Structure formats: structure tokens, C-alpha cells
Amino acid sequence: MFAIEAAWLALFITGFGTMFLFGELLVNMKGIFGVIGLAFITFYFTSYLSISMFLVMIVVYLLSLTLIIIDGKLLNDGTLGTIGAVLMLFTVGFSAPDWVTGTYGVSGVLLGTFGSLMFLKVFPKREMWSKIALVDQLSAEEGYNSMNESYRHLIGEQGDTLTDLRPVGNIQINEQEYSAISNGHWIQKGEKIEVVSVDGTKILVRQVDAIIDHK
């Protein structure tokens, strides 16, 4: 009975810790959520680990969080984010005294990750995520006519992918480099693409071979 109660406690601690830490990455709370989340995670590690093992695990945990941040702010290809997520789950599970508590702790991390999304409905989100995802909508009413027109001429133009589109990446058209997004499919580097639509700074492309096969 005690083991089950300890496992539920691990779920709540890691759940709230992850929710606030990821919430800090999603919304602009000036570090408040980050401090709360780190406090929960620190309490989790200190409850089960010796001082030496605590230092090791907290360093690995912070490294995993750093990898996720780097992926979200700079790379946005999912590679470092995936490595960071696996490391985070490993540190939480490995730090538990038994497999039951570890399973509950890992489940808390997963639930907390999804739970952090609710902060987007309440608090102002960080602008960097919208820029990375190419979701900025620049309208004529906001004075972006020239930007719209400069991209609109790309519709129907063909070019090549400079990076993998997963689905966001870089393309080259007429020796000019642009950021673009595919229509839900991953397109590898060096493939031929065609611009199908433009919405502000959002350039939607698809693979030329896919167009031919569809026809």
C-alpha cells in the first residue's frame, strides 16, 4: 500500500513539475513557472537519491531540458528535442526506488507535458514559437502589403530544398533562399519543389514528383 501511495505522489510531483517547466517555455511568465517547476523536480530527485546521485541526475535532467529548448528556438527539426525528451524520461524513471514508482513518475512527465498546453489559453504565449512554426498571419490591414506581394510572385515557381522539410525547412528558388513549409509531408534535402500558395510569410510547397504522380 505504501509503495502505491509513493507512486501516486511521484506522479503528481513530476506531473506538476513538468507542467510548469514546459509552461514556462510556452508562455511568457518571466521565469515564475520555471522556478515552480524546477522546485517540484528537485523535490522528486532529493526524495529518492543520495547527494552524489542527485547532482548527476539533476545535471542530466537540465541537459535534457536544454536540448529541448535549443531544438525549439534554433533547429526545430525534432532531433535534439527527441533526445532531450528521452533523457528526461530516463532520469525520472531511473531515479525512482522501484519500477512502479518509476512508471508513475514517467507517466507524470507525459501528463504534465500535455497539461502545459492549457496555459496557452490563459497566458500570453512566447512569440518565438509562432515564428518558428511559420504561423504569423500578415494582413494588408497591418501594413504588410509589400511583403505579401514580394512572396506572392513565387506561386507556381519551382526550386530545390536546401534542408529537409519536416515539415518546415529552407528552399531555394532562383538563387534566393526562403523558409517554407510542406503540405504535411516530409520532403528530403535536394528534392524539386513547387510553391502552391503564399499567405503572408508562410510559403506552402509540395514535391514536384508528387504533383506528377497525382496527375
What average pLDDT does the chain have? Answer: 81
pLDDT score, position 150:
62
Domain identity same for 13 and 112: yes
Tally DSSP H helices, then E strands, for the chain: 8, 5
Phi, psi of 133 (to 5 degrees): -80, 0
For the chain, the residue count is 215
Which is more confident, 76 or 45?
45
Residue 172: what residue type? Q
pLDDT score, position 77:
67
Pick from 117-121, 175-179, 184-188, 207-211: least confident: 207-211
Residue 20: what residue type? F
pLDDT above 90 (res 153): no
pLDDT score, position 210:
53
Which of 183, 178, 144 lies closest to 161, judged by CA? 178
Which is more confident, 139 or 200?
200
> Which domain does 49 fall in, by range?
2-131
Q: Is the pTM of this model over 0.75?
A: no
Domain identity same for 87 and 52: yes
Domain identity same for 108 and 192: no
Query: Which of 67, 100, 131 delimits the end of a domain?
Result: 131
Domain identity same for 13 and 91: yes
Domain identity same for 94 and 143: no
Average pLDDT over residues 136-162: 65
Domain identity same for 70 and 97: yes
CATH code, 158: 2.40.50.140
Query: Which of 114, 131, 148 delimits the end of a domain?
Result: 131
Task: Give pLDDT tens digits for 49-77.
Answer: 888 899 999 999 999 999 888 877 776 66
Pick from 24-28, 38-42, 148-152: least confident: 148-152
Check if the beta carbon of residue 38 is closer than 8 Å to that of residue 31: no
pLDDT above 80 (res 129): no
Check if the beta carbon of residue 112 is closer than 8 Å to that of residue 118: no
- 209 to each of 166, 168, 191, 204, 214, how far by Cα in Å? 17, 19, 9, 16, 9
Domain identity same for 115 and 165: no
Domain identity same for 146 and 109: no
The domain tally of the chain equals 2
Report how far residue 83's alpha carbon sits from residue 88's, in angstroms, rounded to the nearest whole number.
Answer: 9
Domain identity same for 103 and 120: yes
Domain identity same for 59 and 111: yes
Q: Within 27-119, where are the H helices?
A: 32-48, 51-70, 79-95, 99-115
Domain identity same for 65 and 115: yes
Angle between helices 2-26 and 51-70 (to 10 degrees): 40
One-letter-per-residue 3-state SS of 17-43: HHHHHHHHHHECCCCHHHHHHHHHHHH
Looking only at the bridges linking them, the beta strands covering 176-182 and 202-207 are parallel
Domain identity same for 27 and 119: yes
pLDDT band, very low/low/confident/very high, at 127 (cuts 50, 70, 90)? low
Which is more confident, 150 or 176?
176
Query: Which of 97, 131, 165 delimits the end of a domain?
Result: 131
pLDDT band, very low/low/confident/very high, at 141 (cuts 50, 70, 90)? very low
pLDDT score, position 143:
46
